[in-house]
A and B are shown apart, each in its own frame.
Chain A
């Protein structure tokens, strides 16, 4: 199923004027966090959805991007916008390292998932001990609100940035569906031996996918750092980021352009509800995520995005029934 490019463009353009219509900080924060989840989910989707390499440790790329952005601007005086780009490069590099090691040794399926989880955990432990991350105390980015500083005094600025990044990720997913590289990636997901027999360099294809995925995760990390101005090893490399990255597309629809965006809306909505129910107790939202995932896997295994196709498919049948 190929997504029309015009539809992708229309959806992204339609999201742009949101801050002009919505003035409540609560809803703008909701929109920003949704797009941020969408970015993280799309990053995972490029590798896990289209490439079939399901990672359980996207925090490794996210956290590396986040720390790169924070440390480079605070300790090395690099401009925060340049740090955004560098965070993408650091995320990509982390992806390349994890990918080169795991694909070289042919790790697939749950073995790949476990190795990525292990990498994220090792990075977390390292971040907990080395001095330049602030270790357990955390890392603070000083408040210096200025556009040149990638710190906005109000929400619409952050909204514009995260929308641009998520639009980039969405466009990348659309490109995957319509390019030679994307077709190779999907071929590798479907059958590695057949792909190899048809001249596809399986390892190189997977490596590019994890590099792209790592770059987008790095962007997400940089954005997080600028938006919250605080990092610690648990935030950057903790399981929650990894789980979010994979839940968003699983709920919305794996290997689709809009799946991560739809999944992000669902997950953020659940997050708000869980805040009310549990009184904001940390970690309890993960339990609700798990419950939602079970419901989705049981009733809509292809994700929420497949609901539309299902309705369309069932309509003619309904008509037949009436006639």
Chain B
């Protein structure tokens, strides 16, 4: 569904993404993980058309999409959410979601009705008339998801939808994302919350300093020494391994 090949992006002297490649297969949940500042959000921005890339190619449904404006990509079915939630602050939950519905639904009244259905899908049916200002962070994250879902995407890019949520809220979010995939939407997500990624993703890419340093099934990724080092620092994998041999109990 999505093939990213050799994407490079520099901001002045800083290379945010260096020759990154990844593939998102139809109907799967693919995760992009990595420490803070690894370039995940930049790569997301490039895929969704918000940030121009210096080099590389992004193919969506077999067509090159690099350089196509975000709103046109949304019409083709590639929609992103934002890590820092971007609600239409002065509007109600229903009006927010209806903006998403309107991409496919020409009638305003029908869009406002359809918004109700979408709000139930993400479990905020009882909040529909609330002003956005009255929502908690978890509520705003859900709204971000609902609005994107309302556009009826084929590929949904979720940028850290679980960041800032408490364990309880994360536990609620995981089945929701699984249900979205169940409804036929392919997902690419960036995430910090590792247990969530492990239980959700079929395929994981690890980004560090702009480079894709590992890819594979979640279980393979956690066992990869390079990934452990990227998160915990140089030599950490060695120390962990020694610790495991002597201590044993930690898995």
Asked if B108 and A193 sit within 8 Å, CB to CB, the answer is no
Q: Mark A151-189, 1 if CB is under 8 A from B, else 0.
A: 000000000000000000000000000111011101100
The complex places the Cα of A195 from the Cα of B106 at a distance, in Å, of: 16
For residue A197, CB closer than 8 A to chain B, the reply is yes
The B88-110 residues at the A interface (CB cut-off 8 A) are: 88-91, 95, 98-100, 102-103, 106-108
Check A180/B102 contact, CB under 8 A, given A196-B70, A197-B82: yes
A191 to B107, CA, bound (A): 22
> Interface digits, B170-181 against A, CB 8 Å rule (1 contact, 0 not)?
000000000000
Given contacts A183-B99, A202-B71, contact A197 B91 (CB under 8 A): no
Q: Is the C-beta of A146 less than 8 angstroms from some C-beta in chain B?
A: no
Chain A contributes a number of interface residues (CB within 8 A of B) equal to 20
CB neighbours (8 Å) of B103 from chain A are 198-199
Contact B89–A198 (Cβ < 8 Å)? no
- On chain B, the number of residues with a Cβ less than 8 Å from chain A's Cβ atoms is 31
Interface string of A188-227 (1 = CB under 8 A from B): 0011011111111110000000000000000000000000
Q: Which residues of B contact A187 (CB under 8 A)?
A: 88, 91, 99
Roughly how many angstroms separate A194 CA and B111 CA in the complex, as a whole number?
A: 17
Question: Is B48 touching A197 in the complex (CB atoms < 8 A)?
Answer: yes
Point out the residue from B48, B69, B108, B150 that lies within 8 Å of A178, measured CB to CB: B108
Kindly provide the distance from the CB of B135 to the nearest chain A CB, expressed in whole angstroms: 15
Whether B111 pairs with A197 at a CB distance below 8 angstroms is no
What are 7 contact pairs spanning A and B, CB under 8 A? A180-B106, A183-B95, A183-B98, A186-B95, A195-B99, A197-B86, A201-B71
Instruction: For residue B41, give the distance in angstroms from its CB to the closest CB of chain A.
Output: 13
Set of chain B residues within 8 Å of A179, measured between Cβ atoms: 108
Shortest beta-carbon distance, B151 to chain A, in Å? 6
Best-buried of A184, A197, A200, A202 by chain B (most CB within 10 Å): A197
Are B50 and A194 touching (Cβ within 8 A)?
no
Complex A-B, nearest 4 residue pairs according to Cβ-Cβ distance, in ascending order: A199-B74, A190-B88, A194-B86, A199-B103
Q: B141 near A: Cβ within 8 Å?
A: no
CB contacts (< 8 Å) of A199 on chain B: these are 71, 74-75, 79, 103, 151
Contact check, B71 vs A190: say whether CB atoms are below 8 A apart.
no
- Evaluate whether A191 and B74 lie within 8 angstroms (CB atoms) in the complex, with A183-B98, A183-B108, A197-B80 already known: no
The smallest beta-carbon distance between B149 and chain A, in angstroms, is: 11
A145 to B10, CA, bound (A): 69
Residue of chain B at shortest CB distance from A200: B71
Residue pair B75, A194 in contact (C-beta under 8 Å): no
A198-B79, A198-B148, A198-B151 in contact; A184/B99 too (CB < 8 A)? Answer: yes
